[in-house]
Amino acid sequence: MKQLEKARKYEELYKELFDRNSKVTTICLLLCGAFWVLKLYVLSEQCLILFFFSGGLYGVRRIHREHVQLGEYYLPDQLRTSSICNKVLYKGNVIPVSRANVIDVWILVCCLGAATLLLWIECIFSKDIEGTPALIMFYGIVPVICLEYISGFRTVHRRLKRLTWKNFRYHIGWCNIGEKLPKQYKLGNCEITKENRIFFRTYYTVKTTKTNNIYKKVMYCGKEEINIGSTYVLYEICGVRYIQ
């Protein structure tokens, strides 16, 4: 219930910020066109830079929203509160974020500062670098969005162990508000009976010690070197079986 309540509150906050973000981007785009018609090219490019910045924040916030329900998949030291994310991304609301979120916001803020500074240097010193400041802001969004998706994918993959058609949507954050996430189940102790390699990954065939059930295509997720014939604990999560 607590996790569900958090998800609902975040959804309400997200909708409020989305509406605000939409208004800001629309105003920036309209002003950009108006200043261009009036041949005020510096102001037009400044509005375009702000449009890209606002769009980048929306992208980060949107991807974070998709993965916010996966908070229980993060390790305790992965989530933190960041003053810059609270101020820039969530308008003063305290939302735990990952390291990738912090890096993304810093990239956007630095690109905004660099693009704006370069634009006004061009204006004051009459340097011929038209369009470059806006491109800096635009290309700054690309690594931000990529980093967000990679971070979320790795977080979920560490818990679900292997990408399959059953858990693919969790890897990309495609789940509904309040939806129960896959749980880990302990199937009991087992012994390894066979080892086989499929492409670049090694799988094992195991037999449970109590029921003598045979399970194939089992992964090993332990840190120590595996020993055939030793006893391990067999787990299952979202159709993926593994031992450790």
| Residue 109 shares a structural domain with residue 221 | no
For residue 67, pLDDT beyond 80? no
Please tell me whether residues 146 and 191 are part of one structural domain.
Answer: no
What pLDDT was estimated at residue 131? 66
> How many other C-beta atoms are found inside a 10 Å radius of the C-beta of residue 200?
5
Average pLDDT over residues 45-74: 75
Q: Which of 122, 148, 171 is the last residue of a domain?
A: 171
Kindly state the average pLDDT of the residues 233-238: 85
Instruction: Say yes or no: 6 and 67 in one domain.
Output: yes
What does the DSSP assignment read for 18-33? HHHHHHHHHHHHHHHH
Considering the domain architecture, whether residues 78 and 144 belong to the same structural domain is answered as yes
pLDDT in tens, 137-156: 888 888 888 887 787 777 77
97 and 207, same domain (yes or no): no
**Residues 126 and 72 both lie in one domain:** yes
Q: Would 116 be classed as within a structural domain?
A: yes
Does 211 lie in the same domain as 124?
no
Answer whether residue 177 is part of any domain: no
Single residue among 125, 140, 171 that ends a domain in this structure: 171
| 189 lies in the same domain as 155 | no
Token pair, residue 118, equals 């370069």
Is there a contact between 68 and 7 (Cβ–Cβ < 8 Å)?
A: yes
Does any domain span residue 178?
no
CA distance 221 to 228: 14
Establish if 179 belongs to a structural domain.
no
Residue 93 class from Cβ within 10 Å (0-12 exposed, 13-18 middle, 19+ buried)? middle
Gap between the Cα atoms of 86 and 92, Å rounded: 5
* Pair 220, 243: CB distance under 8 Å: yes
Q: Which of 143, 171, 199 is the last residue of a domain?
A: 171
Cα separation of 140 and 136, whole Å? 6
- pLDDT above 70: residue 128: no
Query: Whole-model pTM?
Result: 0.69
176 in a structural domain: no
Q: Within this chain, do residues 159 and 193 fall inside the same structural domain, yes or no?
A: no
Give residue 13's pLDDT. Answer: 78
Residues 24 and 145 in one domain: yes
Query: Within its chain, how far is the Cα of 51 from the centroid?
Result: 22
228 and 162 both lie in a single domain? no
Which residue type, as a one-letter code, is found at position 46? Q
- Provide the domain limits for residue 81: 2-171
Question: Which pLDDT band, with edges at 50, 70 and 90, does 78 fall under?
Answer: low
Quick check: is 39 in a domain? Answer: yes
Indicate the burial class of 180 (C-beta count within 10 angstroms; 0-12, 13-18, 19 or more). Answer: exposed
State pLDDT tens for residues 6-30.
667 777 777 888 888 888 888 988 9
Q: Is the domain of 207 the same as that of 138?
A: no
Q: Give the chain's domain count.
A: 2
Are 36 and 42 a contacting pair, CB within 8 Å? no
Whether residue 73 is predicted with pLDDT greater than 60 in this model: the reply is no
Backbone phi and psi for residue 221, each to the nearest 5 degrees, phi listed first: -120, 20
